Amino acid sequence: MESGSVSPDPLEIRVENVHKSFGSNQVLRGVNLSVQRGEMIAIVGGSGCGKTVLMEHLIGQMHPDEGQVWLANHESPDSGLVDLSKLDDAGMDRLRIHWAVVFQGNGLISGTVEYNISLPLEWVKGLDESEIRQRTRRAIEAVGLNPDEILGKTRDELSGGMAKRIAIARALALDPLLIFYDEPTTGLDPENTELIQNLIFKMHQRGSGELRRTSLIITHDKDLLRRLQPRIAMLNEGQVFFDGSYTAFHQSDSPVIRPYFELMPILQQRPVSPLGLGMQ
């Protein structure tokens, strides 16, 4: 296993010896991973290696059979990390106020673009109508769209690339400290792929107030890795096999990494189902 450089920033995420099985299928077999605040990290690996399962542990939708998942408690900054298994629903909700998730299938709900962006601002952030309207318009403009032209469109009127931009605008409107992306460019054409890559970079660089934003990206997008140069963690056989820079990943002659690196463009172009699950 190769290691990248360690940042002096405080931790945003710590995963300790996490195991997860579904019946006889052992998906995670002792995953260990630490992410510093302000980092951009890409989680890569072959289909079925547990990338999305790991993310679902990080956002509290799954719980490990063994091991622990810790995330930064931005509600009480001096308290450091909190063990997700110790939190009730209300405790998880307080943490999630500071997160945003861009799902593989976008996760847009039935209704207009305005409704999709404004609803989380009301339910999660508890903002008033005026602030919601301002944030919604700013978020649409930030992803390069005209609010007057797009806010009234329904989910079903959007192309794949446009829907992805709206999903990112919805995340941006929440002004998160931690943002998760599940295969944000899979199945998109080259033009929209480059556009989304640029948006991810801009969102990460913009940060949230005085605090640095942390970005975690599940991806097969080799061009995204090359352009954005995130730290890379590769899962293989239920564990972190590689953890390091794009340069080290790209130049590796590992018999595990090399075949996957060559296969990435094929995995990247597979279609995405309406439920947001990669079709394999």
199-233 pLDDT, tens digit each: 899 889 876 556 789 999 999 999 999 999 999 99
In a domain, 21, yes or no: yes
pLDDT of residue 1: 41
Q: What is the average pLDDT across 16-37?
A: 96
In a domain, 67, yes or no: yes
In a domain, 108, yes or no: no
Band (271; pLDDT cuts 50, 70, 90): low
Q: What is the average pLDDT across 244-261?
A: 96
Band (38; pLDDT cuts 50, 70, 90): very high
Q: Tell me how many domains the chain contains.
A: 1
Indicate whether 8 pLDDT > 60. no
What does the alpha-carbon distance between residue 82 and residue 91 come to, in Å, rounded to a whole number?
A: 10
User: C-alpha dihedral over 263, 259, 55, 205, to 10 degrees?
Assistant: -70
pLDDT digits (tens, 9 = 90+) for 134-189: 999 999 998 889 999 999 999 999 988 889 889 989 998 998 999 999 999 888 88
In a domain, 125, yes or no: no
Indicate whether 241 pLDDT > 80. yes
In a domain, 72, yes or no: yes
- Are 193 and 226 in contact by the 8 Å Cβ rule? The answer is no
pLDDT digits (tens, 9 = 90+) for 129-141: 999 999 999 999 9
At 70, which CATH number?
Answer: 3.40.50.300
Residue 40, phi then psi, degrees to nearest 5: -110, 120
Between the alpha carbon of residue 238 and those of residues 28, 184, 247, the distances in Å are: 4, 22, 23
In a domain, 34, yes or no: yes
- Domain range for 234 is 1-95+214-270
- Are 48 and 74 in contact by the 8 Å Cβ rule? The answer is no
Band (273; pLDDT cuts 50, 70, 90): very low
Indicate whether 100 pLDDT > 70. yes
In a domain, 204, yes or no: no
Q: What is the average pLDDT across 46-67?
A: 94
Percent of the chain residues past pLDDT 90, beyond the cut: 66
pLDDT of residue 188: 84
Residue 235, phi then psi, degrees to nearest 5: -90, 140
CA 172 to chain CA centroid, nearest Å: 12
Q: What are 226's two structure tokens?
A: 């090359």
Band (5; pLDDT cuts 50, 70, 90): very low
pLDDT of residue 160: 84
In a domain, 42, yes or no: yes
